Chains A and B, each alone.
Chain A
Amino acid sequence: MSRPKTPYVAPEERAVPDLDSGKYLVMWQGPNHPGITGNMSLRLVIEGDSVVDCETHVGYLHRGFEKLMERRLWMQNFPLVCRIAVPEPDFNEYCYAAALEELAGIEVPDKAVWLRTLSLEMIRLASFLMWIGGQAGAFGHGTIAQWSVTMRDYVLDLFEELSGGRIYHMYIIPGGVRADVPPGFLRHVLETMTVVEQNLKDIELVMFHNAVMKMRAVGLGYIPPDWVDRYGITGPNARAAGFKRDLRKDRGYLAYPRLSFEPVVGAESDAFERARLRLAEMFQGIDLIRQIVDFLPSEGPFRERLPNPLHWKIPAGETYVAAECTRGEYGFYVVSDGGDKPRRVAVRGPSYTHAVSVMERLVRGVNIADVAGLMVSLHTYPPEIER
């Protein structure tokens, strides 16, 4: 592929186009647009068919979670937090629970640790499956989206069996998890993994050995490595730029230190590289799920007993708990003033920087037909920006 990489623009420099000159067109992409991940919009300034300026507009999904949480009991927030990132809710549950447990000095039983790890890996797989549909769709491969969303539904079936809910699992409760695995569940997990793996191989063949995909994605949305720290880029977006950073390794939370895996790292740092890296992480995720099924203790309690949730007070203190979700560093900053409700909860979603600062820079010079593909290649979920 001979297309030049996106020219580097210094972050502080922003050319303000003269809209009265008649040279430019202002175009809104979103909030209702099939090429937008969720409800947000890009205000694009276009010259010919390439973008010269972009502003990300968010707020269509703002529900004031952080404010709502300050009004609710510690335990009442447990069903609330999962809604902050819809396609990948379990990271909210885990970060919130882990932060509370840390502040209250609660040790979670080993079985719960494994079940939490299983839950997080399964939702990572489901989230990637949803992403791959979006990425393929943005480049005109709608059929792949149908396959991958079907596969995601099979994973959601597993969640339904485990937790009783497909989208909002509300499974990782402060103190542990809500239930042990039901009979036959682990067998269903392995069967589903076989189906998903087979399907992913098809997707790999169709999508990554595909002339159209290569023509459109290679070289698109190049992130220079020095942007990674400059913009707080995390997750696959940073790994595709050559950074071996994975909180599952670096923080070693839950059962990850007991699992064998190596973070996948890329080099090219363009949309194609990021997609390939995510695909590799999906195969890795299937392997991790199989490992977890092997290691899962069959006996033992799955939840530590907590005080009465109606009166539970958490000692004053603050902490920040982060985990590696599919998009990068997902974190909860929780402050307690010693009362029965949080003083402050702040959610750090990786899309916050990816979809705003990074996107606004990266999209300059891109053909308008590629804006959707670029956006999806950053893998952003608007609700975690707005909370």
Chain B
Amino acid sequence: MDIKDIIAPFAVWKRAFEKPFTVRKPIDERPGAPRYRGFHINDADTCVGCGTCESICMNKAIDLVPVEGRSPSGGDSGLRPRVDYGRCCWCALCVDICPSGSLGMSNEYLWIDSDPEVFRYVPGVDPKPWDGAELGYRRAEGYRLLDMERVPMPELSHAEGVKSFLELVKGYSREQAEREADRCVACGVCVASCPAHMDIPGYINAVRGGDLETGLRLLYETNPFPEACGRICTRACESACAIGSGGDPVAIRWLKRYIADQVELADYGKSLPRAESATGRKVAVVGAGPGGLSAAYYLALLGHKVTVFEKDEAPGGMLRYGIPEYRLPYPALDKDVDYIRSLGVEIRHGATVGKDPALAKLREDFDAVYLSTGLPSAYRLDVPGDEHPRVLDGVAVLAAATRGEELGLGRRVAVVGGGNVAMDAARTALRRGCEVDIVYRRRQVDMPADPEEIREAKAEGARLIERAIPLRVEDSGDGGARFVWNEAEMVQKEPGKRPVPEPIPGAVVTERYDSIIAAIGQGPELSYITEADGVEVRRMKPVTDRTGRTSVPTVFAGGDLVNEKKDAISAIADGHRAARAIDRILGGRGD
């Protein structure tokens, strides 16, 4: 036995007089580290209630629950996550994945209560002492579990695009589409925003899994125009997309297009349903636009014989005559229409209802009639001189371009308006070699057109003149017209309302143009509805119930003619809804 082994341990007596390592509780507070994963906090205003936190939670500790004072709207489900601390393991994957970035954790770790039920609360809604904590776990800079950047869409360059009417957007490859589809978290918040309530998570899931037949079937459940909508849809869904709450929304529209582009028309029949048997009932549809053909498609699926009456020489309505081919090439539209036709839908061209045949005749010959005649006549500028021959109607210009007619716009063109028709007219004029000014009453941010369209119109060389209130049109004496407008400033008249343009006294501008294209909106053409038909019309609209039924039980109406949204997808949704309602009055079950 070494004597050192007995003495050495006593050496540490020297530590007896040092400051102890222990701390006193509660005298010495010991806050959690700045990154501590403590109790959850949530910015309930930023949160969109998508439930991605719930999906990633491996403990099933998170429920999505309705909370007081929040109701679903747009891209917000109105639900908020509730955490059950009986299950939570504080891994913070919910924080890492949260698309909006609203979820975080405080560095608070002490919470004592004798009632176990309280350890279950909705962060950011049920008040807690650590609400708004500065410290605590947050997603680190540069670290995301989700990809917040959209897979870029291959497009023609602007310089290239403006030279021709070639389609600008080339479409995703399989690899690109699957990568983009992978970004979706399948929360389903987008579905409510879609007028047709398409099964968006479902078909994106099909893209991800490479199962395009299922994808196509899901598309056609609610929308028989996937090629068209895959290109030109107003895509309210993308504004609602939960991924968009913290990055680029998923390119839902391009993924829809990808499915339709990839499946050959000849193969559609493999995945899509057909009517089991004919019912022997006949339905007339007035107008072969997206709404009318959508109604025709779903009626045909239900076994009814459908005849579509169309005044123009080709089907598609505004999709064909209103949208330039560089956005929606005719073969793509034809693919959608041809499939509808393949179900036995007959389209009679050159048949202007009201002249030949009369609506009364349709009501007599058919079991039901669906009116989907849209808004064919453009509004006038409504200023002195607006009947000048160089003041053109935007819709007519686009239709003439579709027909391949010589437009004769001249060199300098003004497009008046800020909607999609104005952008289309401007970009069509650019492709005909014109110099284009877009003249709009308000600011660019106030324009109803798709921001992408505005950006592209400008990139292709259109000049945007904002805050310009048209005063009059004068003849320039050399074959053109002088357009006179008053510069304006935006004035906030009532708090909470959007500002209105007020003319600046004396700031009057005059420019000479070869053509002035009015694109400030369109109205319906209702002369074909006679008093004898008994269809009640109020404020230039047939009065309908929510299924589209007018005051005459066998006559239905929908699309731009009736709804407020005035876009293709809403018309398609109206057509589907009316088809189901018509089926019910014809003795079917409406599904």
Contacts of B8 in A (CB 8 A): 205-206, 209-210
A5 in contact (CB, < 8 A): no
The contact of B35 among A76, A164, A168, A306, by CB within 8 Å, is A164
Asked if B143 contacts A75 (CB within 8 A), the reply is: no
Contact assessment for A76 and B9 in the assembled complex, using a CB-CB cutoff below 8 Å: no
Q: Do B58 and A76 touch (CB < 8 A)?
A: yes
**B21 proximity list for chain A (CB < 8 A):** 150
A160, B33: Cβ atoms under 8 Å?
yes
Task: Give the residues in chain A near B4, CB-CB below 8 Å.
Answer: 209
Please give the distance in Å from B187's CB to the nearest CB on chain A.
Answer: 10
Instruction: Determine the chain B residues whose CB is within 8 A of the CB of A311 once the complex forms.
Output: 182, 208
Contacts of A163 in B (CB 8 A): 35
Distance of A180 Cα from B138 Cα, bound (Å): 12
Q: Find residues 275-323 in chain A having any chain B CB closer than 8 Å to their own CB.
A: 301-303, 305-311
CB neighbours (8 Å) of A162 from chain B are 35
Most chain B CB within 10 A, of A162, A170, A311, is at A311
Contact status B58-A80, CB under 8 Å: yes
B5 interfacial by beta-carbon distance below 8 Å: yes
Asked whether any CB of chain A lies closer than 8 Å to the CB of B145, the reply is yes
User: Once the chains bind, are B5 and A308 in contact (CB under 8 Å)?
Assistant: no
Given contacts A209-B5, A308-B182, A75 and B36 within 8 Å (CB-CB): no
Q: Indicate if B65 sits at the interface (CB-CB under 8 A).
A: no
Cross-chain contact of B15 among A77, A160, A202, A303 (Cβ < 8 A):
A202
A170 to B6, CA, bound (A): 45
In-complex Cβ contact of B11 among A79, A157, A205, A211 (8 A): A205
Residue of B nearest to A71 (CB): B58
C-beta contact mask, A29-59 vs B, less than 8 Å → 1, else 0?
Answer: 0000000000000000000000000000000
B503 to chain A, nearest CB (A): 52
Given the interface pairs A75-B93, A209-B8, the reply to whether A309 lies near B145 with Cβ below 8 Å is yes
Q: Could you tell me which residues of chain A, from 144 to 168, have a CB within 8 Å of some CB in chain B?
A: 150, 157, 160-165, 168
Whether the Cβ atoms of A182 and B35 lie closer than 8 Å is yes
Q: Are the C-beta atoms of A161 and B33 separated by less than 8 Å?
A: yes
Q: Does B12 contact A (CB under 8 A)?
A: yes
Q: A178-B96, A205-B8 in contact; A170/B91 too (CB < 8 A)?
A: yes
How long is the Cα–Cα vector from A308 to B9 in the complex, in angstroms? 57
**Inside 8 A of A307's CB, which chain B residues have their CB?**
182
Chain B, interface size category, equals 35 or more
Complexed CA–CA distance, A378 and B34 (Å) = 38
Residues of A within 8 A of B240 (CB): none
Q: Is the CB of A161 within 8 A of B35?
A: yes
| Minimum Cβ distance to chain B for residue A311 (Å) | 6
Residues of A within 8 A of B52 (CB): 310
Minimal Cβ-Cβ distance residue in A for B7: A209
Residues of A within 8 A of B11 (CB): 205-206
Q: How far is the CB of B149 from chain A (nearest CB, A)?
A: 10
Q: Is the CB of B314 closer than 8 A to any CB of chain A?
A: no
Check: B306 CB closer than 8 A to any chain A CB.
no
Structural contact, B56 and A76, CB atoms closer than 8 A: yes
Asked if A309 contacts B143 (CB within 8 A), the reply is no
With CB as the reference atom, state the residue of chain B lying closest to A201.
B12
Pair B92/A164 contact, Cβ less than 8 Å: yes
Partner of A310, one of B37, B56, B90: B56
Q: Which of B15, B37, B142, B147 contacts A308 (CB 8 A)?
A: B147
Additional pairs, 11, CB under 8 Å, beyond known A76-B93, A310-B185: A72-B58, A76-B57, A80-B58, A161-B33, A163-B35, A164-B137, A179-B35, A209-B4, A209-B5, A307-B182, A309-B93
A-side interface residues toward B, CB under 8 Å?
72-73, 75-80, 150, 157, 160-165, 168, 170, 178-180, 182, 202, 205-206, 209-211, 214, 301-303, 305-311
For this complex, 23 residue pairs linking A to B, each with C-beta atoms less than 8 Å apart, are A75-B93, A77-B58, A78-B93, A79-B91, A157-B33, A161-B33, A163-B35, A164-B33, A165-B90, A168-B90, A179-B35, A179-B143, A180-B140, A202-B12, A205-B9, A209-B9, A210-B5, A211-B1, A301-B142, A305-B147, A307-B182, A310-B55, A310-B56
Query: 5 shortest A-B CB distances, which residue pairs?
Result: A79-B91, A179-B140, A76-B58, A209-B8, A164-B35
